[in-house]
Amino acid sequence: MGELAKRLGHLGVAALLVLAFASLGFAQYTMELTSVGDGVSADGVYVSPYWGTINQDGRTIYTGYLICDDFNTESYVDDPWRADSTNAADLNGDEKFTAPSYSDPFNTSITVTDQQAYNAVAWLANGLLETTNVTNPTAQTNYSFAIWDIFDGEAIDPDGGSAGLITQAFAAATGGYAGSNTTVYTPSVRSSSQEFLALSPVVSTPEASLPATLAVELLTLAGVIFLMRRRLAGASR
C-alpha cells in the first residue's frame, strides 16, 4: 500500500502541474460591447470607437474604447463573447486576418505583410483616439473605414477620406512602426464576433502573482497527498 500511495502522489503532482501551467498559458477573456460610442454611422454601419468592457477570470480589467478591424462580421451590444489576445506588434498566427500580403485598395501596387498590416491598423487606431479625432465624426468615419479597408480589400469609404490614411499607415508600418501598445482581441470562435483592438493601458493580472498562485496550489495538493498517504497507511495496518 505504501508503493500505491507513492504512485498516487506522483500522479497528483503531475496532474496539478499540467492544469496550473495550462491555465497560465491560455488566458481567455470575455468581451462585451456596452454602447456604439458616439453613435456616428456611415454607409449604414456604426463606426469606431465603440465602448465596451474586457473581463479576465470574472474580473473587469478594462472599460473604455474598442476599435473594430473587421467589417464583415456582426457584433451586438450587451452580447458578450470569449476572446483570445495578442499584441499587434507580435502576432502568433491566431488572429482573424492572416494572409501572405495585404494591398492598399487605392493603390494595389503597395503591399505589406500581415504583421505590417496589423501594425498599420494599430497606427490608425492610435490616430483615431487622438484628442482631435476621437469625437470628430469625419475623422471617426475616415479612420474606421481605413482600418476596415486594409483587411476587407475594398475601397468602401463613403467620402473617400480613408485613402490618404491607408497610405500613411502602410508607410509607417514598412518604416518600422510597431503597434506595441495595441492589443488584438480575436473571438475564440471566429464567426461569433468581430475582432477588436484596445490600446494600452489595459490592466491585467500581474505576472508576479502567478508563481505565488501556483505555489499555493502545489501546497494544497501536498496537503491532500499527505492525508491520502496517512489514510492508506492506516488501512494497511
Percent above pLDDT 70 for the chain: 73
pLDDT of residue 156: 75
Helix and strand numbers, DSSP H then E, in the chain: 5, 10
Average pLDDT on 207-212 reads 41
Write the pLDDT tens digit of every residue in 55-94. 998 899 999 999 999 998 999 999 999 999 999 999 999 9
Query: 4: closest CA among 236, 224, 237?
Result: 236
Percent above pLDDT 90 for the chain: 60
Q: Using omega within 30 degrees of 0 as the cis cutoff, is the peptide bond preceding 49 cis?
A: yes
C-alpha span between 128 and 141 (Å, rounded):
9
C-alpha span between 196 and 181 (Å, rounded):
14
Q: How confident is the model at residue 127 (pLDDT cuts 50, 70, 90)?
A: very high
C-alpha span between 138 and 154 (Å, rounded):
19
First-to-final CA distance of the chain: 10
Q: How confident is the model at residue 181 (pLDDT cuts 50, 70, 90)?
A: very high
Which comes out higher in pLDDT, residue 21 or 230? 230
Contacts of 136 (CB under 8 A, 6+ apart): none
Sign of the Cα torsion 183, 195, 176, 90 reads positive
Q: How confident is the model at residue 39 (pLDDT cuts 50, 70, 90)?
A: very high
Contacts of 219 (CB under 8 A, 6+ apart): none
pTM: 0.75
**Taking 60 as the threshold, does the pLDDT of residue 6 lie above it?**
no
**Taking 70 as the threshold, does the pLDDT of residue 185 lie above it?**
yes
Residue 47 and residue 149 in contact, taking contact as beta carbons nearer than 8 Å: no
29-35/81-87 β-pairing:
antiparallel
Please tell me the least confidently modeled range out of 25-29, 107-111, 171-175: 25-29
**Taking 50 as the threshold, does the pLDDT of residue 190 lie above it?**
yes
Which comes out higher in pLDDT, residue 52 or 161? 52
Locate the domains of the chain by residue range. Answer: 2-22+214-236, 28-199
**Taking 90 as the threshold, does the pLDDT of residue 3 lie above it?**
no
Q: How confident is the model at residue 179 (pLDDT cuts 50, 70, 90)?
A: very high
Please tell me the least confidently modeled range out of 100-109, 136-145, 199-208: 199-208
In terms of Cβ atoms closer than 10 Å to its own Cβ (0-12, 13-18, 19+), residue 148 is buried
pLDDT of residue 155: 63
Q: How confident is the model at residue 26 (pLDDT cuts 50, 70, 90)?
A: low
How many beta carbons lie within 10 A of that of residue 128, not counting itself?
25
**Taking 90 as the threshold, does the pLDDT of residue 106 lie above it?**
no
The C-alpha cell that represents 131 in the structure block: 484628442
Contacts of 107 (CB under 8 A, 6+ apart): 167
Q: How confident is the model at residue 163 (pLDDT cuts 50, 70, 90)?
A: confident
